[in-house]
Amino acid sequence: MIQHKYLVVGGVAGGMSAAARLRRLDESASIVVLERGQYVSFANCGLPYYVSGEIAQENSLLLQTPASLKAALNLDVRINHDVVGLDANTQTVRVSTPDGEVTLNYDALILSPGARPARPPIPGLDHPCVRTLRTVDDAKALRLLTEDGASKAVVLGAGFIGVEGAEALATRGLEVSVVEFAPHVLPPLEKEMAFLVSQEMRKLGMDVRESVAATQIVDDQGRARVELSDGSSITADVVVLAVGGTPDTEVFAEAGLECERGFIVTDDHGRTNLKDVYAVGDAVLSTDAITEKRRPVQLAGPANRAGRLVADALRGRFEARGMPNPLGTAIVRVGSLTAAMTGANRASLDEADRSYTTIHVHPANHAGYFPGSVQMHLMVHIDLDTGRILGAQGVGEDGIDKRIDILATAIRAGIETCSLMDLDLCYSPPYGSAKDPVNMIGFIADNLHTGHIQLWQPEQLDWARSETLVLDVRTAGEFASGHLPEAVNIPHTELRSRLDEVRQLAGDRDIAVMCQSGVRSYIAHRILTAAGLAAPTLSGGMLTLKAWLGAEADEVLVKEER
């Protein structure tokens, strides 16, 4: 029997999934896993929760050890082994080990080198107060600092790790400032969703600074003073660098591995341009399922699945399906809120020159009459021509994960947006509604497709204010609590009897209808349409508009004393 020799570089999600799958497919193979660090299989997504203390014991983060992997799967796992060279012609790698450099040969090589923390050109990043949060040792060091009296932290970067790390430090009682160069926290989120998250962070006591960059870090009597692009500065005991990851691929690129922006290029079976060399994980480019653009997707789920599929390919199962193009489905907890997303956002759709329409809804997580009902905020980008769901996002206290998972499944299955209204979902008052929020998205999509509704979007606010009659159909009390200065208030219950007044006010202009969440304005839209008036309704109503305006809402909207 021929014994295949597989060499896996890098453990954790992608590499260990490939190694474990290979063993299950081939009991006789030689499988060697080389891990640069001390831990070959750890819960990297759990690191912020160890810092916060929610995960109490370090051992809880360690999923497997070399000994347990040897016992269960007969894998030869070698920690503290750093690959420093690759020769694809001789099919060998050079490895730096605690006992010196060695050369190993392979029949097939699987690369899962992952990413290292990005280090932007900020003077002072070598200050001893600057830390990262990518490894178990990083998490241990941060937690120790919180236990040793650190009282002030600055987190540079408000992506997933930055936001989770900031919350962890705030939970530990530290005063936390978050600095994000992008216009808002969690840049993949749409601005109206991200505003809800930043508000929650502020409720937790965090100082959130958006559209600001760190320009340098200087020593201030042993502490770090972070100087910012707006002229301000923050002095802290610890600075967490969380501005993303850089693919750790230089050694392999020097050996001729095809890379793009540092990320490894593979085919849909994980094969690279080098013979018998495959790659998975954070250092690999993926093809976006919606835009078909190549981009990295640094998430544990896709890495795990890629490791399994590469193992299948290595065992000759090329007739099996290849790598599924990832949707980038992701979720994060921020205080009492959950934020989640799947598929494309506006930026990626605009970059790909894709046309789309956006639906916003603000339903309850379950039946409103059952105790514990809370509002959620969902938005979906759709292609009206094809009916395709292009992306979805949600923020709320409860039920967001369920709805985004449903929408991610619908995208993968090719379910058209209108068909969401036909999904037969669980319903009982503690869990949902007879018309689930996902069904409601389907209803609106069907109305759009059939022409029973026309929408205007918050980004069209200047158009609405300058070229239309803005008709606010909320109650007088709601109107007084905050409205556009150009708006005319006619409650939807009075609209049928005041159509002549509306015609006179509108003249030859269209009518931009709005209410609190989009429900009453849809009723008004149907009344006005039946009367022969063009009257698109604001997607998601005032709730969406306020979140879109963010900090500017108080300047734009008018409040009246009552």
Please report the pLDDT score of residue 13 as a whole number: 84
Beta pairing class for 5-9 and 108-111? parallel
Residues 6+ apart with CB under 8 A from 121: none
Least reliable range by pLDDT among 53-62, 70-79, 373-382: 53-62
Bridge partners (DSSP) of residue 35 are 79
- pLDDT-based confidence at residue 203 (cuts at 50, 70, 90): very high
- pLDDT-based confidence at residue 12 (cuts at 50, 70, 90): confident
Q: From CA 289, how far away is CA 109, in angstroms rounded?
A: 27
* Mean pLDDT to the nearest integer, 77-102: 96
Instruction: Please give the structure tokens belonging to residue 456.
Output: 């205007």
* Mean pLDDT to the nearest integer, 529-547: 97
| Chain length of the chain | 562
Please report the pLDDT score of residue 187 as a whole number: 97
Mean confidence (pLDDT) of the chain: 95
Q: Taking the complete model, does pTM exceed 0.75, yes or no?
A: yes
**pLDDT tens per residue, range 415-426:** 999 999 999 999
**pLDDT tens per residue, range 432-465:** 999 999 999 999 999 999 999 999 999 999 999 9
> With pLDDT > 90 as the criterion, what percentage of the chain qualifies?
89
Cβ atoms of 518 and 539 within 8 Å: the answer is yes
Beta strands in 99-180 (DSSP E): 100-105, 108-111, 115-117, 130-131, 152-156, 175-180
Using DSSP, state whether 137 is helix, strand or coil.
helix
Bridge partners (DSSP) of residue 41 are 64
Bridge partners (DSSP) of residue 382 are 357, 389
Least reliable range by pLDDT among 161-165, 268-272, 461-465: 268-272
